[in-house]
Copies of this chain bind each other. A is one copy, B any other.
Amino acid sequence: MDDLDRRVIDLFAEEPRVGVLEASRRLGVARGTVQARLDKLSSSGVITGWGPDLSPEALGYPVTGFLTLEIRQDAGDAITHEGAHDAVGRHLAAIAEVLEAHTITGSGDMWVRVVARSNADLQRVIDRVLDDERVERCSTVIALAEQVPFRTLPLARA
């Protein structure tokens, strides 16, 4: 991650439509250099993808909720030695409205981000999340406004 890497990322983040050739012109380096940098950034894992970013809101899911789950500690699989968290993770991954889930510090807690079509619909989603014996409790918080939209660019610039 030298300065050129940062400028490459910056340029493609600002204007994803520019091609490699145009980028090389703007950055004042050879085309092959830009290609090599992009390849390296991809293979080193800094750039994880180029997929289209989708807006849950525009897809009809304007309500975002943050759930904190309490997981039964003794619910691991004694045979596979798989932790309860992973089992719950699979349960959650099967629910489309679950956008992400993490285990967090605290006895048996997980943090889950869900979206729903309405506040009423959120109840349905929560019920689906709760539909696993390993999930003991769920506290819900509703997101009202997005003060800082998700971003990673400032990190790369720093």
In terms of DSSP, what is the predominant structure of the interface of chain A? mixed
| Residues 40 to 56 of chain A near chain B (Cβ within 8 Å) | 41, 44-56
Q: Is the CB–CB distance between A54 and B47 below 8 Å?
A: yes
Q: How far is the CB of A136 from chain B (nearest CB, A)?
A: 16
Q: Is the CB–CB distance between A155 and B56 below 8 Å?
A: yes
Q: How far is the CB of A158 from chain B (nearest CB, A)?
A: 5
* CA–CA, A48 and B54, complex, Å: 6
Interface flag for A138 (CB, 8 Å): no
Interface flag for A143 (CB, 8 Å): yes
Among A17, A61, A64, A141, residue most surrounded by chain B Cβ atoms (within 10 Å): A141
Q: Is the CB–CB distance between B50 and A144 below 8 Å?
A: no
Q: How many residues of A contact B (CB 8 A)?
A: 68
For A101, the chain B residues whose CB sits under 8 A away are: 146-148
> Can you list 23 A-B pairs, Cβ within 8 angstroms, ordered by A?
A16-B49, A41-B52, A44-B58, A47-B52, A47-B53, A47-B54, A50-B53, A54-B152, A59-B155, A85-B147, A93-B148, A98-B148, A99-B150, A99-B151, A100-B150, A102-B143, A102-B144, A102-B146, A103-B143, A104-B141, A104-B144, A111-B141, A113-B150
